[in-house]
Amino acid sequence: MKPVILSLFKGKPKPMEANPKVISSINRDSADSLIVYLDHIEGDEISNKQHHGGPNRVLHYYPSEHYAFWKIAYPEIKCSPGEMGENISSTGLDEKNVCIGDIYKIGEVELLVTEPRKPCGTINVQFQLKGLARRVQSESKTGWFFRILKAGTIHLGDEIELLNRPYPALTIDTCVQSLLIAPNKAVLEQMALNPILSSNWKTPAQLYLDKSELPDDGQRLGEN
């Protein structure tokens, strides 16, 4: 069976409940459908355009299965789909079976997997848990981003169909592990040369290969 869309979310920047001084779109609202354009989702905005958004990060996917893991790891927190800031959630796809360059069709929309999400400090604020962003990274439960190849509308219940997989060895998990957890030179070389992977992953991969060092932890976590 093909995976189907279980949850859709969109929203605009607003003060976070946990800390009203922090303005973020992480708390998106549930939706029955998303109207997706090549460069944005109707009714969806980001607050920090310097470090978020752009054509390679139009739509954020986070696996529904991960929420069960977080509920067990942190039983004291509220944790349900939508709270990691995603636009789409379903079961059946995760970091170990989704690859850079994958092309999917969801409803009318065709999407290209461009990069893993780098967890940022907003996650710590969201759940009021210091170090959660780092654990999201270390567990390789990051989710990923899509570039939009064909605009259209995505509805709840739409099937997710894989159309093409040109780089089966370069899974989301492999990228996260190789750059952020346990650097792997051979994989980093693949990442640096990959024509699809976003520059904010290719550049630090090349930096490591050139200088045998990685950016500081803040940059690795996307907390810059």
pLDDT of residue 52: 65
Rounded distance between C-alpha atoms, residue 220 and residue 119, angstroms: 9
pTM of the model: 0.91
Q: Which residue has the higher pLDDT, 217 or 57?
A: 57
- pLDDT (tens digit, 9 = 90+) per residue, 138-153? 999 999 999 999 999 9
Tokens, residue 83: 């709270």
Domain map (residue ranges) of the chain: 5-168
pLDDT of residue 205: 94
Q: Name every residue whose Cβ is closer than 8 Å to that of residue 152 and which is 6 or more positions away in sequence.
A: 35, 36, 107, 108, 109
Report helix, strand or coil for 135: helix
Instruction: State which fold the 5-168 domain adopts.
Output: M1 Pyruvate Kinase; Domain 3 (2.40.33)
> What number is the average pLDDT over the span 27-36?
95
Helix (H, G, I), strand (E, B) or coil at 115: strand
State the average pLDDT over residues 61-82. 93
Which SS3 state, helix, strand or coil, does residue 195 take? coil
